[in-house]
Structure formats: structure tokens, C-alpha cells
Chains A and B, each alone.
Chain A
């Protein structure tokens, strides 16, 4: 290749990606750094930002007890929520990926449908499914003699209610796991069968390790999704009862747009970014990247 073609290609390449370059500079890079700047100021939108150094960060960690509650609530959703959805969706995918099971297409559609419901409708739906008195879940629990909890109105059960919602909406994960399972060669299972390994041992020693790249992918995207999750808690509980569903992005939104504490909220945003990066790095290190295990 002559340098003339190289130059032409460079010019063309940059020309083609120019929409992204403009979008990146204007709507990603610039906001990213100005949010870092805002986080070091006192800013209420109406007046110019006033420099306060690290005050917002100090206040978050030493003078705002709700912030710790928010961190705990969000961590709960990441640890419990993602564990439950991962186990649930891997389990369903394994059951579906069985030659002897017919109707795969039907089941796949059923498990995927909830992901299509707009968040606002999803919220209405779950408010009524989980009504303490006459909601469908507590009614069914009543049939088998269990008195259902107050769900969204109970400080203890509100977070598990959001976990249930997440489980119901995990159809994308099921699809990804199914695709991952279909990529596992039959010969591995045949060899294990001949060696007399039980189905359970096969799942443990073949399926899960081979599925690892998909699991790491889903856990990381799930974690970032959970950190950003906002609409459901904003609509259904608005953080209540007793702050039990005040999640990170909800508290950030309230500080920014209800209390006009833009600087404080920007500090929260940067802490969020650092948390997301740290968890991603740790997961990556622990799992040795997206590589399947030998």
C-alpha cells in the first residue's frame, strides 16, 4: 500500500465515523469531564457553579447516612438480584436445551416476552401482581397456605419484590445462555456419559465451565444495568418504604432534579463510575476474561 492510499483511507475512515466522533466529543467526553468538574462545585443550575473542592465527596461519606443505605440497597440488588437471575436463567436455559424437550420455540417466546414490556407498564403490572391483599401472587400463595408479605409496602420485602421483577425480566439472559449451550459440542457430553457421569455432574463439570464467557458477560451487563436501574423504583415506591428501595440512580436523580444539588449528584455520578469500573475489573480478573475454561 502506498502512503497515498493510506492517507485516502484514513480520510475516508474518519469521514465515515465522523457522526460518532461528534457524538462522542459532544455527548460523552465533554459531559464526562464537566461532571467531574461539577462534582467539585456547589451548583444549583440557576447560579454559576461555586468551587468547593472535595466537599461533596466528604459530605457523602461522612455526613449523609442515607448514602450508606443507598449503597447497601444497591449492593443487595447486585449481589442477590444478579445471583438469583443468573441461577434462574442458566437453569431454565439448561432445561430448554434438551433434545427430548419439544416446544423450545414456544418456551423461548414465553420467557422472552416480559423483556418487551415498557418499564412504565411493567411497573403498573407488578404493582397489581404484588398487591398484598388481592394481588395474584399472594392469592396463589394463599392457596398453599402461605400468607404472602406486603411486598412493596414492607421495608423487608420491597427489595425481594424488585428481585422477582428482575427474574421475570431476565429473558435476554436465557436467550444468550441458550445460544451458548448450543455451541457446546455433543462429544463432550458423550464422553462423560460413557465415563458414567450423572446429569448433575455433567452440568457442573462441562456445562457451567463452557458457559463461563456468557455468564461473565451477563453478570457484567447485569451489574451495570442494576447500577442504572431507575424507572421501576421511581415509579413504584419512590424509594420507600422507609428508604428500603432508595437505589443509587434514584437517589442521584432526586439530588439533581428534585433538590437541585447538581454538584452533589455529580459527585455521586463519579463514585458510580468508579464502582462500575472496579466491579468490572474484579470480575474480569477473577474470571480470566471471557475465555472458556479448559
Chain B
């Protein structure tokens, strides 16, 4: 009896300790966010005050208004949105086709070629970056959105992998009758496989969006015209001038993060699935 009681007591102390550690860690994860939001609502004096101002005495909401007016926010926003839309469209269209070919049709050499797909995931972007720049320049694509948009329609190894894993799990019995009836592969892909695969398609769309939304090195290398800048690149360009208006930059930063957070909260399940899938089956 005594031993059971001490054991129980020991466990509950352990539970408290775990809670304390988790709450402290959670605070450490949340505070930087709050610091950014607080900074975006400070006046310039408050921002540089030492000791720091935790909560702005009078939130300067006009930082947001000013930022949207001074910074070519809407232009950069429109550019970013266009690239994201293309990334989603291309990401879903091309990769579902490719993944279908790698999973629902049996042909010689398929699995060997799929290993090549997986291997390209390991290839650092820096290795192909310079020749791509030269190639795009020869095509006359530098100074247009094409270097960021066209590749999105030509397959992405990670998305192919995610979709293929899902397609493999669809029972053969579902597509067999259609095949016997003489339906073309494309019809089976379009009318049967895609509707069944909505969850993984949403996952791919989300990752295509967040990837393009926050991409920095792509726009930096390939978009030479400042009329084409994305939000990421635009913010960085403004940061690199002397003595930038930090409070305004923070306001833009908060505004740029918000859409991603909203999508995450609406579609959390798909995010988590997409990530665990790669980690466990990888």
C-alpha cells in the first residue's frame, strides 16, 4: 500500500514538472510573436526605449495604414498572390498526373525512375541555381515571373512523393471495373482518383502556397525588376536601406504572416498529415 502511494505521489510530481517545462517552453515560443506584434504598434521612440516598452502605451494603429501606403504593399501583394496561385495550380495539376503515373499504372522501369525522383529531393538548390539563371536569361525570362511559375508546372519531388503514397493506398478494386469498361487512364485519373484524393490534394495546395508565399531566394535571384517583387523580397529591399522605419516593416511582417496563420488554423489537420507522412514513410 505504501509503495503504491509513493509511486502515485511521485507520478503526480512528475506531471507537474512536465507541465511547468511545457508551459515555459510554450512561452518561449510565443513571446517572439508577441514581441513582433507589440513592436508593430509602437511609436519610434518606444521601439528604441531602454528598458524596453512591453506594451505600447498607445497602440499606433496608423503604422499599418502608413505601411500599406508607403511601401508598395498592394503591388507586391498582388505579385506574390499571382505566384502563389500559379504554384498551387501547377503543383496540384502536374504532380497529381505524375504521381498517378508512378502509382496507378504498372510499367517497366517505373520504380527505378521513382528512386530518381526521390534523389532529386536531396539536391541543394545552390547546385542548379547558376545554370538555371543562365538558362532563364537565354530564354529571356529574367525580369518576368516565368522562372518562378513555369517550374511549378513541371513536377516537384516532394509533392509527387506525398501524392504517390496516397494513391498507392486506393484499392485496385475501385478502378478495375472502370478499366474493364474501357475507360481511359485519364478518365480514371480525373473522375475517380482525384475526387478520392481531396485530403492529400489540399495538403499539397497548402504547402505549395506557403512555400511560394515565403520564398526568398527564388525571387531574389530571378526577379530583377522591382515591379515584379514579392512581399518577401520587397521587405528585404527596404530593410537594406539605411535606417529603415522598423515599426512599419514590423506591421508589414505581421500582415504577411497573418494569412498563413489563418490558413493553418482552418486546415490544421492537413498540415500535420503532410508533415508526419513524410517523416514516417520517408
List the interface of chain A (C-beta within 8 A of B).
6, 9-10, 12-17, 19-20, 22-24, 26-28, 30-32, 34-35, 38, 45, 92, 95-96, 98, 100-101, 107-114, 116-121, 123-126, 128-129, 133-136, 139, 168, 172, 175-176, 178-180, 183, 199, 214, 217-218, 224, 227-228, 230-231, 234-235, 248-249, 252-253, 256-257, 262, 265-266, 268-270, 272-273, 276-277, 280, 290
Contact = CB atoms under 8 A, between A and B. Distances in A.
B109 to A, nearest CB: 8
B232 A119 contact: yes
Interface in B71-99: 94, 97-98
B181 interface: no
B32 A272 contact: no
Interface stretch (B62-70, B122-130, B169-177, B194-202): B122-130
Contacts of B126: 228, 230, 248-249, 252-253, 268-269, 272
Given A10-B107, A136-B52, A290-B282, A118 B132 contact: no
A119 to B, nearest CB: 5
Contacts of B19: 101
Interface in B236-282: 236, 239, 246, 249-250, 253-254, 256-257, 260-261, 264, 268, 271-272, 275-276, 278-280, 282
A34 B127 contact: no
B226 interface: no
A134 B49 contact: yes
A125 B32 contact: yes
Contacts of B107: 6, 9-10, 12-14
Given A13-B107, A16-B185, A23-B155, A107 B22 contact: yes
Contacts of A257: 221
A118 B35 contact: no
B280 A129 contact: no
B18 A95 contact: yes
Secondary structure of the B contact surface, majority rule? helix
B189 interface: yes
Highest count of chain A CB atoms <10 Å: which of B48, B217, B279 = B279
B11 interface: yes
Contacts of A101: 15, 18-19, 22
Highest count of chain A CB atoms <10 Å: which of B15, B100, B123, B153 = B123
B39 A13 contact: no
Contact of B98 (A19, A98, A252, A269): A19
A118 B28 CA distance: 19
Contact of A199 (B14, B100, B257): B14
Given A111-B26, A134-B49, A176-B275, A17 B32 contact: no
Contacts of A136: 31-32, 35, 52
A35 B98 CA distance: 27
A110 B29 contact: yes
Nearest to B52: A134
B106 interface: yes
A226 to B, nearest CB: 10
Contacts of A265: 130
Contact of A113 (B35, B50, B261): B261
B200 to A, nearest CB: 16
Contact of B101 (A15, A110, A118, A262): A15
Contacts of B129: 31, 256, 269
A256 B220 CA distance: 13
13 contacts: A16-B101, A20-B155, A31-B132, A34-B134, A35-B131, A114-B33, A117-B260, A118-B213, A120-B231, A218-B279, A235-B236, A253-B221, A272-B124
A253 B110 CA distance: 36
A218 B246 CA distance: 35
B197 to A, nearest CB: 15
A139 B51 contact: yes
A118 B116 contact: no
Contact of A266 (B39, B130, B217): B130
Given A13-B101, A116-B264, A257-B221, A124 B52 contact: no
B68 to A, nearest CB: 16
Contacts of A235: 216, 236, 239
Nearest to B154: A23
B216 A27 contact: no
Contact of A256 (B21, B106, B130, B213): B130
Contacts of A32: 123, 127-128, 131
List the 3 closest pairs (A to B, CB-CB), nearest first. Answer: A23-B154, A16-B101, A176-B279
A15 B97 CA distance: 9
